[in-house]
Chain A
Amino acid sequence: MTRLTEIETGAMTDEQRRFHDWMAAGPWERREGPFKVLLHAPGLAEAVNQVNQHLRSQGTLAKRIRELVILINARHWETEIEWLSHEPQARDAGLDDAVIAALAQGREPDFRADDEAAVHAFCRELLETRWVTDATFARARDAVGEVGLIEVVCTLGLYSTLSLVMNAFEVPLGPGMSTPIADRRGPGGPR
């Protein structure tokens, strides 16, 4: 059950219709993910997608690191649809199964790659304490570089935004999808 209504294509602005057509031509997560919500504010879906497309295809970060950040974010906000959409992308990009499983279960992963460990520590500290210590900052910056770190922060921030959007509107899982975050808290506590 979703909170959102469908927009009639006849009621869309030209810009909304162009974006709608781009969504319709894409994979499931493009059609049924956050953009379906953002499309309700004309102009917003496109502006958000411009940032996302840059981070996805023009950034300097290794895809493995970017997908790690997205999974950390999905776990933090308990946005299961985001997790399910990105878990296979993270695996394709070379993130270890054991790391993915630990993240899903809320355990500290046993990282084999130093850059993953540094970025994970950075993201967790920023999300949990809102700040990062000098040591955590320096370790992450040394691992991915100054521009890479900016991309890590912006990926975390952009996907936090997408998580809030999907959580606020209770964007549903697709048919046949099972819940990946077993201890997720609903509005009334764990399910």
Chain B
Amino acid sequence: MSRLPLLDRAALDEATAAVFDAIASGPRGRVSPPYQALLRSPALAGRIQSLGAFLRFESAFPDSLREFAILITARAWNCAYEWHAHYPIAVAAGLPEAVVGAVAAGRRPDFAEADADAELVYDFSTELQETRRVSDAQYGRALARFGEQGVVELTTINGYYAMFAMILNTFEIAPPEGVADPFGGRETAS
């Protein structure tokens, strides 16, 4: 049970309804529970959704690698909702299920040669989130493969989806009822 109830569209004031409709009519096609939480501050919700839309729909970083970084972040934050929302997008974008499954289980995946880019995203993101820094060697590898723009975008994706996990976890927004815990039994909400 979330700590915030869902909004009733018909009961919203004009400013909130305008942002609600802008999000619903955009590429997302709906106002998901985390945006419902943010809509308690409609102007903030609008700006955060613009940043998210930029990362998701406009940035140059490849879809499958962005989604992988999101799943790594969701796992690091024990955020079942974020995992549940992005898992199908990640798999549809071409990430092997075995790679994703290992992350869900908290293990380092065995990366095939064809998944060298995903391996780089995994190592960079994990080192950054766990040690708060990246070594020269790690930075050099990411830079050589993704370029400065790519490393900036990858780093920002790590941060933005950590922010979303903070929102989701703070308000205990869980996946729909009946969805199995993706992380193997850990209670994800108190």
A residues contacting B by CB (< 8 A) are 3-5, 37-38, 40-44, 47-48, 50-51, 54-55, 58-60, 77-78, 126, 130-134, 137, 146-147, 149-151, 153-154, 156-158, 160-165, 167-169, 185-188
Contact = CB atoms under 8 A, between A and B. Distances in A.
A148 to B, nearest CB: 9
Contacts of B139: 3, 168
The SS class assigned to the B binding surface is: helix
Interface stretch (B84-92, B102-110, B161-169): B161-169
The SS class assigned to the A binding surface is: helix
Contact of B3 (A41, A137, A163, A186): A137
Given A44-B54, A131-B169, A168 B151 contact: yes
A160 B132 contact: no
B37 interface: yes
A81 to B, nearest CB: 13
Q: Which of A55, A150, A168 neighbours the largest number of chain B CB atoms within 10 Å of its CB?
A: A168
Nearest to B189: A131
A126 B151 contact: no
Q: Which of A78, A130, A186 neighbours the largest number of chain B CB atoms within 10 Å of its CB?
A: A130
B93 interface: no
Contacts of A151: 41, 44
Contact of A59 (B44, B135, B190): B44
Interface of B: 3-4, 37-38, 40-41, 43-44, 47-48, 50-51, 54-55, 58-60, 77-79, 128-129, 131-136, 139, 143, 148-149, 151-153, 155-156, 158-160, 162-167, 169-170, 189-190
A83 B67 CA distance: 31
B156 to A, nearest CB: 6
Nearest to A132: B170
Contacts of B162: 157, 160-161, 164
B148 A5 contact: yes
B166 A126 contact: yes
A44 B79 CA distance: 25
B151 to A, nearest CB: 7
Given A130-B165, A147-B41, A167 B159 contact: no
A38 B155 CA distance: 10
